[in-house]
Structure 1
Amino acid sequence: MVIVELHARAVELAAREVDGVRPDQLDLPTPCVGWTLRRLLEHCVGQHRGFAAAARGAGPDLALFADAPFGDDPAGAFRRTALELTGAFRETAAAARPLWLPEVRDGGPFPFAQAVGFHLLDTLVHGWDVAVSLGSPDGLVAAVDGDDELAAALLTVAAAVPSTPEARAPGRAFGPGAEPADGDGRFARALALLGRDPAWKP
């Protein structure tokens, strides 16, 4: 299934950003208000585990998506759990089993391809969060913008995220959307749609 392979490409791009995180950088601020880089990565690792469990048939158990501490090895934890997740998605692709995602709207179940798209978006946006927190987002942005299929998938999912005040309230995953600037690339346009400032700096 195409979306599964696009997701795997997104995960690898994000993992390359996480590979560059040093233990002494884990207290850096991120675009996620109030979250340090450590908290952001603990969230990502927890999401890997939760989506993998959902792909393997787990019900709507919010505890499966809990943030996961990783000590001083963020890259190792990110890659190990990402490998588990991509494997679970590939195993489930043929059956296209719907996934329960208790953190999303009513929890589902969501069609398999849609659920994978949710995590593709989360992966690339949080990969950007990591990169921009480290002061070097240009490589990731260029890689996504240079991959027509991946950039199109990201924009499609970003455009489908509800933009109601309730969905974009404080504490939600995404803030109020903004109009992309003229000349912005596709990654920057997706970030703006999701309430991220493509020009954010620590």
Structure 2
Amino acid sequence: MTVAVFDHEGPWTEEEYLSLGETSQRVELFDGSLHVTPAPTPRHQRTSRKLGNILEAAAEAVGLELLEAVNVRLRPGRIPIPDLVITSPVNLDDPYVEATSVRLICEIVSPGNASTDKVLKMHYYAAAGIDWYLLVDQAAGALRLHRRRGRHYVEHSAAKRGETLELTEPVRATIRPEELLP
């Protein structure tokens, strides 16, 4: 993949992006530009797995699907890779999930990507019409659930260590930060 990325001139098209195939790095497409990040840390992946275990059971109970680190097409030319998504049933062989299928999107904030998750992606996800956005802030040991209002998110509920976050939509789940964040 390195040669294809560095030999490329000009903005990336969605077709060129998808032709990169699977990589060991997270490569996201934002309006013609690639955003490349190294693989997540073990702490990040542990948090993702533990949260995914909680959300998967909740999603399956209501006929929804939990997916981890998949391409989500917010609009043509804008394809991030969120940590977790809850979707309506989708074709599991498609190269991406359309934003219209996403019911909840989750990002686990790491020190190196905090502004991307808290500002850029939050704006993009709301603009794409995704109703629920869950941010897991590892540094603060907190969970923040946001609900979309128009083209923006507002905080719906939050929990820090010793507290509980209760999800009632799009799934029912109880999440305790200390169970996710060592």
Regarding TM over 0.5, the answer is no
Q: Which has the higher helix share?
A: 1
Q: Which has the higher strand share?
A: 2
Give TM-score scaled by structure 1 length.
Answer: 0.27
Q: Which has the higher contact order (CA 8 A, sep 6+)?
A: 1
